[in-house]
Structure 1
Amino acid sequence: MDTQDIIKKVRTIEIKTRKLSANIFAGQYHSAFKGRGMAFSEVREYQFGDDVRDIDWNVTARFHRPYIKVFEEERELTVMLLIDVSGSLDFGTHRQMKSEMVAEIAATLAFSAIQNNDKIGVVFFSDKIEKYIPPKKGRKHILYIIRELLDFHAESRRTDLNEPLEFLSNVMKRRCTVFMLSDFYTRTDFLSPLTICSRKHDVVAVQVYDKCAAELPDVGLMKVVDAETGHEQYIDTSSRKIRQAHRDYWIKRQTALQDVFNKNNVDSISIATDEDYVKSLLILFKQRS
């Protein structure tokens, strides 16, 4: 993709996603994510009915009577996008590639954050941290992120979800809202780093997948290639037994993935490449409101 193509596509995505975030997501985004971060405001004397967990023991000891910490809603949030740029995202049999849908969803979330006066940052990851863009505000920053989304080339093809979660836990000291955009194809267990990250931050998982991953089409002998390892093999998709085994594997995998999210109170959605991601995001936002 040359410079002119990138500029043209950046402009197209900006027009589409900015309109969506302004007309549809503005109120939903605010109610879904504002208030999740609380900042210390002051201390005052304990009153009947106050939560004892908010007692400031240092101040209490100094004045010999109980005082509590008072918190208020943070006026702005920091939003971090953890974006999978591994080889498996370069696939799509219905309407668009997974990577293209991820880019549009990320851009829509970024514009929604900016319109709510929030900072937005990005971590591109494969089986390592490919690039870190620190959170900032402003249209110029958003357009830089979109350009990177469209033209970023990862050094590695493989996926390791532990890397971005551990990186985020280390680099972000204050609580933030985290959107993890991936197809969640990984050969490593990421439960432990997700547990640590979700205790500190508000984590949301956005899975983008292709319908063929859920159900093989009956098209006879098919050559398939693992986009991350390069492994090739032939599959006889005319076999009902093989198609059923593929479907069963997908259901088992999705159930296990959802179990990981549920254990950590991580809100999640799954969006196919031929679906309307706007509807899915609105459902997610309404569930959190």
Structure 2
Amino acid sequence: MEANELLRKVRKIDIKTRGLSQNIFAGEYHTAFKGRGMTFSEVREYQYGDDVRDIDWNVTARHNHPYVKVYEEERELTVMLLVDVSRSRLFGAVGEEKREMIAEIAATLAYSAITNNDKIGVIFFSDKIEKFIPPKKGKKHILLIIRELLDFTPENQGTDISVALRYFTDALKKRCTTFLISDFIDTHDFTRQLQIACNRHDVIAIQVYDKRDTSLPDVGLMRMTDLETGASRWINTSSKRTRQAYSKWWYERQQSMSDTFSKCRVDHASIATDEDFAHSLMALFKNRGVR
């Protein structure tokens, strides 16, 4: 991508996603993603209804009057984005390319994290770990992430989510809030690694898909190519049986993915490339906030 075009796209996503995170998501994000615990804030005079277990006996003895310790939520989180950069993300038939939608979602989540004083880091993966950006704060860090989201070129083309989850679990020992963003077109079974990751971290899955992924159009003979393997074949899309078989494959694949997330207790959202992702993220945040 040319430098001027990249800067223009970075600026466009910067403006859009910063506005979304500050004006729409700020409160929902804060409610949905909790801090690690409670930290001491101050002492004040005892009031009726206070828990006697919070009495600060040293201060009480000095003032000859009961005082209690006041705690507040320790808000700062570490947020990690696990972003699929396999070749299938370049597909775009309805709406924008998956790559562009993934970049916008990831940038919005990153801004939401920074707005709430959280650290944000990224792992780019294909069927191997392509790049690791350690968690940090700050506007410069956000712009670096957006630039990489738009212009990163992976070495490999395939997808192996289990590799990303294994690396993430090994690399980050402290509990993180983690967004796994992918189209989830993956022939590997990542259930075990997802379970391991969920035992230590809070994992949320976001699927980005193109509606043309879900069904075949009736357009006669069509050459279909797997973007990740390069394999291609001719398909007779005028055959009702062929179209039904493809739709069945997609449904069963989606059901298997959903079952995996339910088994691992992972909140998830599926977002089409022609949809407004803000609505889906808001619904996801709200569902987590009421629990």
- Tell me the distance in 1 between the aligned counterparts of 2:72 and 2:91: 45
Aligned-partner residue type, residue 218 of structure 1: D
Q: Which residue of 1 aligns with 2:264?
A: 264
Q: Which residue of 2 aligns with 1:147?
A: 147
Q: Which residue of 2 aligns with 1:217?
A: 217
Q: Which residue of 1 aligns with 2:77?
A: 77
Does 2:160 align with 1:183? no
- Tell me the distance in 2 between the aligned counterparts of 1:241 and 1:85: 33
Q: CA deviation at 1:72?
A: 6.8
1:22-77 Cα deviation digits (max 9, x unpaired): 11000011101124x33687xxxxxx9x9xxxxxxxxxxxxxxxxxxxx9743200
- Tell me the distance in 2 between the aligned counterparts of 1:275 and 1:77: 29
Q: Which residue of 1 aligns with 2:229?
A: 229
Does 2:117 align with 1:117? yes
Aligned-partner residue type, residue 173 of structure 2: K
Would you say the 8 A contact 2:216–2:243 is kept in 1? yes
Does 2:163 align with 1:163? yes
TM-score, normalised to structure 2, is: 0.87
Structure 2: give runs of 5+ residues left out of the alignment: 41-50, 54-70
SS of 1:134's equivalent in the other structure is strand
SS of 2:76's equivalent in the other structure is coil
Q: CA deviation at 1:143?
A: 0.1
SS of 2:181's equivalent in the other structure is strand
Aligned-partner residue type, residue 246 of structure 2: H
Equivalent positions of 1:1-289 (< 5 A) are: 1-35=1-35, 37-38=36-37, 73-289=73-289
Aligned in 2, Cα 1:139/1:247: closer, same or farther, shift over 3 Å? same
- Tell me the distance in 2 between the aligned counterparts of 1:287 and 1:128: 33
- Tell me the distance in 2 between the aligned counterparts of 1:86 and 1:246: 22
Q: Which residue of 1 aligns with 2:58?
A: none
From the CA coordinates, give the structure whose radius of gyration is larger: 2
TM-score, normalised to structure 1, is: 0.88
Q: CA deviation at 1:229?
A: 0.5
Question: What is the number of equivalent residue pairs in this alignment?
Answer: 261
SS of 1:156's equivalent in the other structure is coil
- Tell me the distance in 2 between the aligned counterparts of 1:276 and 1:211: 14
Aligned-partner residue type, residue 38 of structure 1: G
- Tell me the distance in 1 between the aligned counterparts of 2:38 and 2:235: 55
1:130-153 Cα deviation digits (max 9, x unpaired): 000000000000000000001000
Identity of aligned residues (%): 57
Structure 1: give runs of 5+ residues left out of the alignment: 42-47, 51-70
